């Protein structure tokens, strides 16, 4: 068993212990870096003060061996969070430090068969999740681009409602692109240690991703606000409301991400800014939670209004059909309003990791496809326009065929 496997098992152990200060899989890397820095300080002090010891301070990649005289034997323990209590010893000889009495991978990882299987299971699970959400975002991206193209062609359909849909489509497109960009920057090169890399490109990709996610949530909120306004106010200045919606949908994420970027750069400029356990993460998380909560409350209120209006005896048949159609669309909008995020909203990031990944990555990746399906492909107005264009095309084709046949007959 090589050191890489030992490192993976150690990583898994730390993950199971639920260390919260940094990413669990990165804790061991940062721990070793800290110990190495301390050891380098000891080396520099030793060089300044001088020593008569037979063996100098030495860093072996895991532990720092102190300066001792020839013949002395030093024992160190396994790194923290490992359950093994076996000591590793080295003796100072006239030729320098001797070999370790027991290699690290034997002393610290005695029962590793089960842990290796668990690591393999986790790796396979993450690989499957990445494959599924890549397919999901790919489907969402392609379907949303087609939907935007359809709305741009049939300009007779454009109104306040469609403009809001187009902005929502844009946020889903940006979110899918941001996921692909972030994966390409952070995880494309497997030889790069993503726990310690800290470049402008990776920080920019994470910042862009956070902005796209926030915009997506707030345009989902705008969809709920518009439906609420449609049911509550019979006569509304739609143009004025649209500018308010635009300010909410694009303005709030812009201000939030700007504040978050400034504070991260000033006070927490470590790694690629993707540490979800950092206190500054709440600057992003609180607005998301507020949008989800408001959407959830609006969903309940919208459902109540629709039920009341469909049961009102004074409403005519057309109104009832309209409200029934809204009721169906509202039930389908449950995942779009982000209500399913309520399940994990207040839990720590490491709790229910597999279920959280399934909800937020797998289901979230297909969310854009569902939006395009509901708002465009299954929209009766869009279908009627497409049907008219097909009929026009058929009529023109039939006329051209008739003219060609007539010309052949005359000839």
Contacts of 307 (CB under 8 A, 6+ apart): 327
Q: Please check whether residue 365 is in contact with residue 133, taking contact to mean a CB–CB distance below 8 angstroms.
A: yes
CA–CA distance from 198 to each of 27, 41, 77, 186, 194 (Å)? 16, 24, 32, 10, 8
What is the count of structural domains for the chain? 2
205, 286, 297, 204: which is closest to 253 by C-alpha? 286
Mean pLDDT of 216-220: 91
pLDDT band at 21 (very low <50, low <70, confident <90, very high): very low
Give me the pLDDT at residue 192, please. 59
Mean pLDDT of 222-240: 75
* Lowest mean pLDDT, pick from 192-206, 341-355, 375-389: 341-355
| 253 and 171 in a common domain | yes
Give me the pLDDT at residue 406, please. 57
407 belongs to a structural domain:
no
| 159 and 101 in a common domain | no
Give me the pLDDT at residue 408, please. 53
Q: What CATH number does the domain containing 165 carry?
A: 1.20.1070.10
Tell me whether strands 73-76 and 64-65 are parallel, antiparallel or unpaired.
unpaired
pLDDT in tens, 276-328: 777 888 899 899 888 888 888 887 887 787 777 777 665 555 566 666 666 66
| 122 and 97 in a common domain | no
216, 299, 206: which is closest to 252 by C-alpha? 216
163, 162, 141: which is closest to 369 by C-alpha? 141
| 329 and 361 in a common domain | yes
pLDDT at 382 > cutoff 60: yes
Highest mean pLDDT among 19-33, 112-126, 298-312, 379-393: 379-393
pLDDT at 238 > cutoff 70: no
Mean pLDDT of 82-94: 78
Cα(181)–Cα(169) distance, rounded to whole angstroms?
18
Mean pLDDT of 329-339: 59
84 or 123, which is more confident? Answer: 123
| 121 and 75 in a common domain | no
**Which residue, 53, 81, 111, sits at the end of a domain?**
111
For 79-98, b/e burial (b = at least 16 CB within 10 A) is beebeeeeebebebeeeebe
Place of tokens 């812009």: 254
**Which residue, 92, 111, 130, sits at the end of a domain?**
111
388 belongs to a structural domain:
no
Give me the pLDDT at residue 9, please. 37
pLDDT in tens, 39-71: 888 888 876 566 666 788 888 888 888 888 888
pLDDT at 18 > cutoff 50: no
| 266 and 248 in a common domain | yes
291 belongs to a structural domain:
yes
CA end-to-end span of the chain, whole Å?
88
Place of tokens 């008569």: 52
Render 120-159 in DSSP notation, one character per residue. HHHHHHHHHHHHHHHHHHHHHHHHHHHHHHHHHH-GGG-S
pLDDT band at 15 (very low <50, low <70, confident <90, very high): very low
Cα-Cα-Cα-Cα dihedral sign, residues 101, 103, 109, 110:
negative
Mean pLDDT of 240-261: 91
| 246 and 152 in a common domain | yes
| 51 and 133 in a common domain | no
Give CA angle at 265 (262, 266), nearest 5°: 85
Instruction: Supply the range of the domain harboring residue 254.
Output: 117-378
pTM over 0.75: no
| 268 and 365 in a common domain | yes
Cα(248)–Cα(140) distance, rounded to whole angstroms?
24
17 belongs to a structural domain:
yes
Cα(163)–Cα(147) distance, rounded to whole angstroms?
12
| 179 and 98 in a common domain | no
| 32 and 144 in a common domain | no
Instruction: Count how many Cα atoms sit within 13 Å of the Cα of residue 125 in the half-sphere of its side chain.
Output: 13
| 197 and 81 in a common domain | no
Give me the pLDDT at residue 247, please. 92
Q: Please check whether residue 336 is in contact with residue 370, taking contact to mean a CB–CB distance below 8 angstroms.
A: yes
Give me the pLDDT at residue 71, please. 84
Instruction: List 91's β-bridge partners, or say none.
Output: 73
């Amino acid at each position: 068993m090589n050191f890489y496997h030992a490192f993976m098992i150690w990583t898994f152990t730390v993950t199971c212990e639920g260390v919260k200060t940094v990413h669990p899989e990165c804790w061991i890397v940062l721990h070793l870096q800290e110990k190495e820095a301390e050891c380098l300080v000891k080396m520099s002090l030793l060089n300044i003060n001088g020593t008569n010891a037979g063996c100098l301070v030495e860093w072996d990649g895991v532990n720092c061996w102190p300066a001792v005289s020839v013949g002395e034997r030093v024992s160190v323990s396994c790194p923290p969070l490992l359950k093994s209590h076996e000591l590793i010893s080295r003796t100072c000889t006239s030729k320098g430090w001797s070999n370790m009495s027991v290699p690290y991978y034997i002393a610290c990882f005695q029962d590793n068969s089960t842990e290796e299987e668990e690591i393999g299971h986790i790796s396979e699970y993450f690989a499957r999740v990445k494959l599924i959400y890549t397919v999901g975002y790919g489907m969402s991206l392609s379907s949303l681009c087609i939907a935007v193209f359809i709305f741009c062609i049939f300009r007779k359909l454009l109104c306040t409602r469609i403009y809001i849909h187009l902005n929502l489509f844009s946020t889903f497109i940006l979110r899918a692109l941001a996921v692909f960009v972030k994966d390409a920057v952070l995880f494309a090169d497997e030889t790069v240690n993503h726990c310690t890399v800290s470049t402008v490109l990776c920080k920019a990709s994470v910042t862009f991703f956070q902005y796209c996610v926030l915009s997506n949530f707030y345009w989902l909120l705008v969809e709920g606000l518009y439906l609420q306004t449609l049911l509550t106010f019979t006569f509304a200045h739609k143009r004025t409301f649209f500018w308010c919606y635009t300010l909410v949908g694009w303005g709030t994420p812009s201000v939030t991400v700007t504040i978050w970027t400034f504070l991260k750069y000033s006070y927490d400029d470590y790694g690629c800014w993707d540490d979800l356990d950092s206190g500054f993460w709440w600057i992003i998380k609180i607005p998301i939670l507020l949008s989800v909560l408001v959407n959830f409350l609006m969903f309940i209120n919208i459902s109540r209004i629709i039920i009341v209006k469909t049961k009102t005896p004074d409403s005519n048949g057309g109104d009832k059909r309209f409200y029934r159609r809204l009721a169906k669309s509202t039930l389908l909008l449950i995942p779009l309003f982000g209500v399913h995020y309520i399940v994990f909203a207040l839990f720590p990031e490491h709790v229910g990791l597999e279920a959280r990944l399934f909800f937020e990555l797998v289901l979230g990746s297909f969310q854009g496809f569902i939006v395009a399906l509901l708002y465009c492909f299954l929209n009766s107005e869009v279908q009627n326009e497409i049907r008219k264009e097909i009929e026009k095309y058929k009529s023109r084709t039939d006329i051209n065929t008739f003219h060609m046949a007539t010309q052949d007959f005359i000839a």
